[in-house]
Amino acid sequence: GGRAGGAANGVGSVDMEAEALRFQAKAVTEEYDETVLPRLAAWKESARAIGDLEPLEAAVDQAFAAQRKMLTTSSKFSRPQNPDALQRLFQETQGCLEKLVEMEDDLGPLQSHHKLVSNGLGALSWVSVEFPVTFISETLGSINVFGTKVAKQGEAHEAFVTSLKLLLRALLEYVKKYHSEGLRFNPAGKPLP
């Protein structure tokens, strides 16, 4: 009798450990939703207040959705041994960032807004660098040139700049908390397909 109970306890503790890891994995995505996505919504609102930025707004939305998808995937799977698998995981976000750069010529008088956002969203490349917190911080600092130029165009434009900085600071805080040493994977997860 004692032996069967011991085996059951062993299984139960393994299940509890697995559940704890699932909870943590879930927290990684929930924190992104609670920290970053509200700032994204505020930025989108500031873009709408300026008008004529719908394509830019859609591209930014897609980039953050791709990043969320990548974070959800990394929280469920173990770290891939093959660097190509990691690159494939980041590929959708990278494609969104490339699309932002390609859009530059299509925005006419709002080109400074585009350059500001395009440079700022380079922060989403944090997964491909050795020191993600430093990278995001430096990216945030580098947008001031375009930020100043955009903010001078009026109150709505100043709000646009401020909301972008707040969005990037939220991303920075999130990465600091969960991915300070690089994109974190679930050690109990299955191998990335």
pLDDT in tens, 36-62: 999 999 999 999 999 989 999 999 999
pLDDT digits (tens, 9 = 90+) for 147-184: 999 999 999 999 999 999 999 999 999 999 999 999 99
pLDDT digits (tens, 9 = 90+) for 111-131: 899 999 999 999 999 999 999
pLDDT, position 21? 52
Q: Does 73 score more than 90 pLDDT? A: yes
Contact 176, 66 (CB under 8 A): no
pLDDT, position 107? 63
Q: Does 19 score more than 70 pLDDT? A: no
Q: What is the mean pLDDT of the chain?
A: 87
Could you tell me which residue, 108 or 183, shows the higher pLDDT? 183
For residue 68, give the nearest of 99, 40, 43, 47 by alpha carbon. 40
CA distance 126 to 92: 14
10 Å CB burial of residue 124 (0-12, 13-18, 19+) is buried
Q: Does 26 score more than 70 pLDDT? A: yes
CA distance 46 to 155: 10
